[in-house]
Structure 1
Amino acid sequence: MSGKVYLVGAGPGDPELLTLRALKLLGLADTIVCDRLVGPSVLQYANPQAQFHDVGKIPGCRQHQQDEINQLLLTLARSRQRIVRLKGGDPFIFGRGGEELLFLVQHGIEVEVVPGITAATGCAAAVGIPLTHRGVAASVRFITGHLRDSDGLELDWRSLVDPTCTLVFYMAVSNAATIVEALIAHGRPADTPAALIHAGTMAEQDCAVVTLQEVPGMIDVFAPPTLLVIGEVVRLYSSPAKRALEQAGPTVPHSFNPPLSCPTELA
């Protein structure tokens, strides 16, 4: 009989932000297929006897194409029982989880999706930037910073200039100059505040607040994974939340204790 694939969101990096379901599945998995953006401290809660497959994609590298990952999951599901497909953030927010779900279901494989905290909400919260705020931002949009197979970044730019909408670009480092140029050309003011957040929620977390036009000049400082937040809510970073973070000093890893007794079978 075929096994079951669990598409599990690992959250933005801090293991304390795992869901209880994700923690349970990690401890019971006999196979783990892991993305590059999964926080390394998350993996300490994986079953040490589990078979491990690193399928992390590296920008500009042809290694681990999506079709190959789909086929690997199918092959594993036909020979193993509990396959955890572990993804950074949430599987259905720029995680290709929908593609993997459809592929596996079409081949008769049972799939369960376990949501995770996506990078936009996790990283913004970690630095004290609310993505929506009464009287400042009435909506928020999550936007990919690059398209499939490195195609050009063709977006509906006119729809992205509403000053009451916060924009959050994922994986935007390589196309930062294009994003900034297009937004300004279509009406976003050049002095709109923007935040670059690297390794949000992790010990090495870093954040810089600049204007929109200054973003391209910061890219050499911020390597992937870096989240780009654009909008008036970024001004709130200079609020008491920022001062509290500064007074606390560098972020340190949280102590995280799993449940005293782990389940022996899945619900």
Structure 2
Amino acid sequence: MGPHLVQLAQADFPVFAPGSVWLVGAGPGGPGLLTLLAFHALGQADVIVHDALVSPEILALAPAHVERIHAGKRGGRPSPKQADITIQLIELARQGKRVLRLKGGDPFMFGRGGEEAGELARSGIAFRIVPGISSGLGGLAYAGLPVTHRDTNHAVLFLTGHDETGTVPSAVDWPAIARAAPVIVMFMAVKHLPLIARRLLDAGREPDEAVTIVAHAARPSQTVIETTLVEAPRLVDLPTPAIVVLGAVARHRHNLDWYVEEVRRHVFG
């Protein structure tokens, strides 16, 4: 064990107590974007209940004997029901296990972490929230997209592309959304991108406004697609998971797109 790992092991981290649940953000995908507290939790857990978006490289950081339970929810595919996931967390904690609920990105950024924590609280289960780097922030940085920039925007809006039924959120006030911020960052929006684009256009956004789609953010397989709001509905077979960004911050990519070159050097030497 190197000196830095020794220092990490000796750090004054909180105790991961038996019978408790830690809801931990795993970040956009790359292991290097885990927080130190998330790394600590991986080494202390008895069981990991993880989302589909948690990368194999991150799961591999936990000791081999730690039980891993897949609880991924992916649109259009058979997925565990949210209620069943929460019940499982409670049952595992009541068995005296140290339960790591590992979620892609940040647990409270469209991750339903608030719902799971609420049920844990109502059931008398001790829990801790460990924030993670959201793909809507850190993931976009890997595509050279600053979510705010003094030359383009002083506000940003985060939006989910579907609700609990899997459809475009019906309660969204699209005219208000269109006016609220120059930059809109959309999670889980690829499936309904044609309808979302139409609603934003109808609400007054410009047809030639830049749309940037970042798939597999912060992974070697990261893909970035650049288009416009009016052309976006014509795209087919888009890779997922992906973040969709509407707004002029796209123009900064020609200077800030650092990650492509890093991956090229790593893969091709």
| TM norm. shorter chain > 0.5 | yes
Picking from 27, 31, 38, the partner of 2:43 is 27
How big is the shift at 1:135? 3.2
Picking from 203, 206, 210, the partner of 1:186 is 203
CA RMSD of aligned residues (A): 1.8
Picking from 76, 80, 90, the partner of 2:92 is 76
Does the 8 A contact of 2:27 with 2:104 survive in 1? yes
- Counterpart mapping for 1:72-151 below 5 A: 72-151=88-167
How big is the shift at 1:123? 1.7
| CA 1:79–1:250: 2 relative to 1, 3 Å | same
| CA 1:98–1:246: 2 relative to 1, 3 Å | closer
Superposed CA deviations along residues 38-78 of structure 1, whole A, max 9, x for unmatched, are 12211111121111110111212453000000110011010
1:168 matched to 2:182? The reply is: no
How big is the shift at 1:165? 2.5
Does the 8 A contact of 1:203 with 1:251 survive in 2? no
Q: Distance in 2 between matches of 1:17 and 1:247?
A: 19
Q: Distance in 2 between matches of 1:160 and 1:252?
A: 40
Q: Distance in 1 between matches of 2:63 and 2:210?
A: 44
Q: Distance in 1 between matches of 2:181 and 2:166?
A: 30
Q: Distance in 1 between matches of 2:190 and 2:41?
A: 33
Residues matched between the structures, number: 250
Tell me, what secondary structure is at the counterpart of 2:121?
helix
Q: Distance in 2 between matches of 1:202 and 1:247?
A: 13
- Which moved further from structure 2: 88-97 or 161-170? 161-170
1:205 matched to 2:205? The reply is: no
One-letter amino acid of the counterpart of residue 215, structure 1? A
1:241 matched to 2:241? The reply is: no
| CA 1:163–1:95: 2 relative to 1, 3 Å | closer
Q: Distance in 2 between matches of 1:32 and 1:249?
A: 30
What corresponds to 2:176 in structure 1?
159
| CA 1:163–1:209: 2 relative to 1, 3 Å | farther
One-letter amino acid of the counterpart of residue 264, structure 2? P
Under a length normalisation based on structure 1, what TM-score does the superposition of the two structures give? 0.88
Tell me, what secondary structure is at the counterpart of 1:161?
helix
Does the 8 A contact of 1:6 with 1:112 survive in 2? yes
Which structure 1 residue ranges, 5 or more long, are not aligned?
254-267
Q: Distance in 2 between matches of 1:230 and 1:132?
A: 12
Does the 8 A contact of 1:163 with 1:232 survive in 2? no
How big is the shift at 1:24? 0.5
Q: Distance in 2 between matches of 1:93 and 1:11?
A: 11
How big is the shift at 1:2? 6.7
What corresponds to 1:216 in structure 2?
233
Q: Distance in 1 between matches of 2:48 and 2:96?
A: 11
Tell me, what secondary structure is at the counterpart of 1:159?
helix
How big is the shift at 1:22? 0.2
Q: Distance in 2 between matches of 1:193 and 1:60?
A: 28
Superposed CA deviations along residues 89-147 of structure 1, whole A, max 9, x for unmatched, are 00000111000000011000001000000011112100111111113111111110101
Which structure 2 residue ranges, 5 or more long, are not aligned?
1-16
Q: Distance in 1 between matches of 2:190 and 2:91?
A: 34
How big is the shift at 1:249? 5.5
What corresponds to 1:257 in structure 2?
none
List, as ranges, runs of 4+ consecutive aligned residues in structure 1 with deviation greater than 6 Å.
none
Q: Percent identity?
A: 37
| CA 1:10–1:249: 2 relative to 1, 3 Å | closer
One-letter amino acid of the counterpart of residue 50, structure 1? V
